[in-house]
Amino acid sequence: MKRVKLILLALAIFTNVFAQQSGSSFITNFQPAVYKAHSQNWAVVQDKRGVLFFGNGSGILEYDGITWQLHPMDVVRSLAMDNNGRIYVGLRGDFGYLQPDSLGNLQYKSLKDKIPAQDLE
């Protein structure tokens, strides 16, 4: 019985060791010096094109898989995307959404003024 347990233990250990894939991982860590913004990232969404948006201590980081673009604003703590692809942004003391201008550049549109003042506290 001890021999069977020992064989099963050895199989469990060795099959796990050899089951790991070799090569590069699917995760890439980027240092703040690469994306040129704050080191803290609070939220992430991916749009329908595959572009990633990060809520960062320096604003919103946009990453298309090749280049990083910073949209400077206050600390962005939350991001969400609706079914139409609109990205909503939660900031300290404000919230709104991103909308492309006539040149395709994303602009932040605040929704804070749509809320009655007594409901903001």
Residue 101 pLDDT level (bands cut at 50, 70, 90): very high
Contact indicator for 110, 96 with CB cutoff of 8 Å = yes
Rounded CA Rg of the chain: 23
Q: How far is CA 78 from the centre of its chain?
A: 10
Whether 8 shows a pLDDT value over 80: the answer reads: no
Domain ranges of the chain: 32-119
What average pLDDT is seen over the chain? Answer: 88
The reported pLDDT for the residue numbered 112 is 93
Mean pLDDT (whole number) for 72-77: 96
pLDDT at position 27 is 84
* pLDDT digits 0-9 by tens, 12-36: 676 655 555 666 667 889 999 999 9
Domain 32-119 indexed as CATH 2.40.10.500? yes
Q: How far is CA 77 from CA 44, 49, 60, 63, 93, in A?
A: 10, 23, 10, 17, 11
Half-sphere exposure at residue 46, Cβ-oriented, CA atoms within 13 angstroms: 4
User: What mean pLDDT do residues 61-69 have?
Assistant: 96
Q: Which residues contact 38 (CB under 8 A, 6 or more apart)?
A: 32, 56, 57, 58, 75
Exposure pattern of 6-34 as b/e (b: 16+ CB <10 Å)? eeeeeeeeeeeeeeeeeeeeeeeeeeeee
What is each CA distance from 63 to 8, 23, 51, 85, in whole angstroms?
A: 47, 24, 6, 16
pLDDT tens per residue, range 32-52: 999 999 999 999 999 999 999
Q: What mean pLDDT comes out for the span 95-115?
A: 94
For the residues 67-88, what does the mean pLDDT come to? Answer: 96
pLDDT at 65 exceeding the cut of 70:
yes
